[in-house]
A and B are shown apart, each in its own frame.
Chain A
């Protein structure tokens, strides 16, 4: 919520603060339409408040609120209409084995956390050793299965993220470091192991398959 403005809480509300969804042509220097709107509103409020001087402060607040809500309405109208005239965006995430990758990731986290919890519960003396080894074994097997399933996934999820990033940040997608001599190298996703070629997380320091060190991009 805390954007660059702090004057009037009303105007930092979602409608006004939401950046336009469609990549509107950004003016030079990175000034976006909503920056202008914000400045115009601040100016209008300043003028309005100045005009009410000499009367009770209630009037000044009323004027400020009125102008603020008008600006918000204007921003929201723009937010409603702009997408209708913008080019169509479409993207679909593919499913892995009938479930989205996000769901698999989530389940992985859940299982890993369950393992920690079972360990903690045993340390607290809540479960017996026999139960512990049985539960932990089951959970570990499950985690391993999930990790394999995630690795097997080649649904282009990362490419989708890159594309999304580029539309938001406004830069050309570019993952790997420029190859020596600036030649056009096929984009190798960062985190790919040089030894075995397995795709790791972008910030991984060691390969999850063979354990070899991954050079930082």
Chain B
């Protein structure tokens, strides 16, 4: 089986190379036959990767420990579900999984667009295949997941890292990968447009949905990572500015910027160079992120370990990407002239430009902070690290400016806004913002960043509500329906705009949750049996430490009676789990009591079975659940924007004049 797997990888390598050659040659000679054959080879690569994936999953399921990778990341006692997901648990498999996703995603994108964007397809195929080729080459020469033991195969595997054995870690990497891999598709279309010179907006239309879907998965991956960190790592927070987290955040920033600036190009024919560049940078950052986590050049809790060969391969590949991409941008500059210029700085497009700059600056700052240790080591020989305080100090104000722009941009008109318009538009949002600010100050909040954040949340939420209500009124007057139908019609006619607003509302909720971080309580204590401690309005009492075990692990559980202002809330059970084969790495099982206002979060870092005492970390994290709720809204809004054209047609039927102009 292992040799069949290796053979399939090799075959995919050859087929991808053929896909590049055939489609480029076909496009240059105007031969449809060659192009079609290249496209066929592209589909073939996806089929071969699927077969190879099936083989490795099969090896995991049937406990084939003659394959090194399987032996390393699985064992007999592991539940079936985690055996399957061990496929992407390690370095080699994750690269293979990456290629598999890219091949399937790419085939889907090519299949969907094969007629509408026929002139771009050959180069799209060639570029996606080239990216595949790189990863396949890396696998075949350096990191083959099908590598076998030369002599005798072990009887049992070493088992997946226990930290990865939970549902968030099963969903988190694939969703992040889909987000990463998905960004290759806008890049491929963008480059195809540059190479063919078809630089009107058609390539943007082809990639808009792909970018949105990838962005959604990237957001999902980041949020799941946050939840995982919060619930599994047990340090009481959800975002530690770890390099691997940052690797996911970097393309998220630039992809968000692209989703905004794309609108400006569609509506106004501006920012063409900028859009192409953003797509290139986003793609580059996904590769760079993969490089950071795979090569071990940065130190992180969940990087895969250092590897010199890999570093060199990635460096060459990344340099090639930059040279090739920006080379074509420069070559096509004359075709990328804007159709219009910026009319006024008080306009929506100007606000979009500002938003783009801030998102890009965020990405650059995070990149700098993440690479600083490596850079300082290269320059001075000492590894200087910048910790979370650096990021928090810089990112808090940037985040707040971004939040402000989220509220301001929808109130501005395209092209230009006058003073009278501004007064009319900004009256209510600013009043609400001021009211919130006064209320927050009155309640005795003395943390300036949190106070400003709350006020801005009020501002943005009012803006969105005002947009919705005023728009619905205008539509009601125009179509003669009631306000509700008009509202639905409005949202459905401009799904992207209102989907975007719902996403903005989600972001507002998330910021609301982030601001709660300023009011966090975090205390470490040692509790003897029967002893009590009080943190804020919670009291915890040590009722003992008990041990138990199952097939995979031994569990040490603390029993803590919890009460709030004298009222009993029952017992909570923070624990430490010792997986066999990984007993030096016990996992921390956090006990969390969730409410709308705050979470009570208990961690038991150490204990003593003999006298039943434990050291306990008690964390009260206000507003944290709002972050997850905000993410829910974000998904909802993105879904709304992605909805196909025909949904909710009943509310549209009353507006015949606009029917064709969705």
| A residues neighboring B (CB under 8 Å) | 10, 13-18, 21-22, 58, 62, 65-66, 69-70, 72-73, 75-84, 86, 88-90, 92, 99-100, 102-103, 106-107, 109-110, 112-114, 116-118, 120-121, 123-128, 131, 135
Contact = CB atoms under 8 A, between A and B. Distances in A.
B373 interface: no
Contact of B416 (A17, A82, A131): A131
A13 B356 CA distance: 37
Given A14-B111, A124-B474, A127-B418, A84 B33 contact: yes
Nearest to B411: A126
B413 A121 contact: yes
B108 A14 contact: yes
Given A14-B43, A76-B46, A89 B267 contact: no
A13 B104 contact: yes
Contact of B37 (A75, A81, A107, A110): A81
A80 B266 CA distance: 36
30 contacts: A15-B43, A15-B44, A15-B47, A18-B111, A22-B36, A58-B61, A62-B54, A65-B54, A69-B47, A69-B50, A72-B50, A76-B40, A80-B41, A83-B37, A83-B40, A84-B33, A90-B31, A100-B200, A103-B202, A106-B200, A110-B269, A112-B661, A113-B267, A116-B658, A116-B661, A117-B414, A123-B474, A123-B477, A126-B411, A127-B413
A38 to B, nearest CB: 15
A17 B269 CA distance: 37
A82 B46 CA distance: 18
A15 B658 CA distance: 38
Contacts of B126: none
B496 interface: no
B51 A73 contact: yes
Given A62-B61, A80-B43, 8 more contacts: A13-B47, A65-B54, A79-B44, A80-B18, A80-B40, A83-B32, A90-B32, A117-B267
Nearest to A14: B111
The range of chain B's interface size is 35 or more
A48 B477 CA distance: 64
B424 interface: yes
A82 B470 CA distance: 58
A160 B36 CA distance: 19
A17 B30 CA distance: 26
B107 A13 contact: yes
B107 A124 contact: no
Contacts of A107: 200
Contact of B420 (A10, A66, A81, A128): A128
A17 B47 CA distance: 12
B417 interface: yes
Interface in B232-285: 266-267, 269
B46 A14 contact: yes
Contacts of A79: 39-40, 43-44
B416 A21 contact: no
B202 A106 contact: yes
Contact of B413 (A58, A99, A126): A126
Nearest to B424: A125
Contacts of A128: 418, 420-421
Contact of A73 (B47, B411, B658): B47
Interface string B506-528: 00000000000000000000000
Contact of B33 (A89, A102, A112, A125): A89
B332 interface: no
B86 to A, nearest CB: 15
A83 B43 contact: no
A80 B17 CA distance: 13
- Tell me whether chain B's interface is mostly helix, strand or loop, or mixed: helix
B110 A14 contact: yes
B46 A13 contact: yes
A135 B110 CA distance: 39
Nearest to A92: B30
B296 interface: no
A129 to B, nearest CB: 10
A70 B104 contact: no
B24 to A, nearest CB: 15
B425 interface: yes
Contacts of B477: 123
Contacts of B72: none
Contacts of A84: 33-34, 37
Interface string B33-65: 111110111011011101100100010010000
Given A15-B46, A127-B417, A135-B415, A90 B30 contact: yes
Name, among A92, A118, A128, the residue most crowded by chain B CB atoms within 10 Å (CB to CB): A128
Contacts of A22: 36
A76 B412 contact: no
A21 B110 CA distance: 14
B80 interface: yes
B471 interface: yes
Given A13-B107, A84-B37, A127 B416 contact: yes
B201 interface: yes
A70 B104 CA distance: 15
A15 B107 contact: yes
Contacts of B61: 58, 62
A106 B269 CA distance: 12
Contact of B425 (A80, A114, A125, A135): A125
A124 B415 CA distance: 15
A80 B37 contact: yes
Interface in B177-215: 198, 200-202
A83 B414 CA distance: 48
A125 B470 CA distance: 9
A124 B421 CA distance: 10
A185 B8 CA distance: 58
Interface in B86-134: 104, 107-108, 110-111, 114
Nearest to B115: A164
Given A86-B33, A114-B267, A10 B50 contact: yes
Nearest to A124: B470
A120 B474 contact: yes
A17 B9 CA distance: 23
Interface in B413-442: 413-418, 420-421, 424-425
Interface in B351-398: none
A73 B413 CA distance: 53
Contacts of A100: 198, 200
A10 B46 CA distance: 11
A44 B598 CA distance: 56
Given A106-B201, A124-B471, A62 B47 contact: no
State the 7 A-B residue pairs at the shortest beta-carbon distance, nearest first: A15-B43, A80-B40, A83-B36, A79-B40, A14-B111, A76-B44, A126-B413
Contacts of A120: 471, 474
A149 B412 CA distance: 33
Contacts of B18: 80
A79 B416 CA distance: 53
B68 to A, nearest CB: 21
Contacts of B198: 100
Nearest to A72: B47
Contacts of A83: 32-37, 40
Name, among A16, A99, A102, the residue most crowded by chain B CB atoms within 10 Å (CB to CB): A102
A114 B15 CA distance: 46
Nearest to A21: B36
A64 B357 CA distance: 51
Contacts of B104: 13
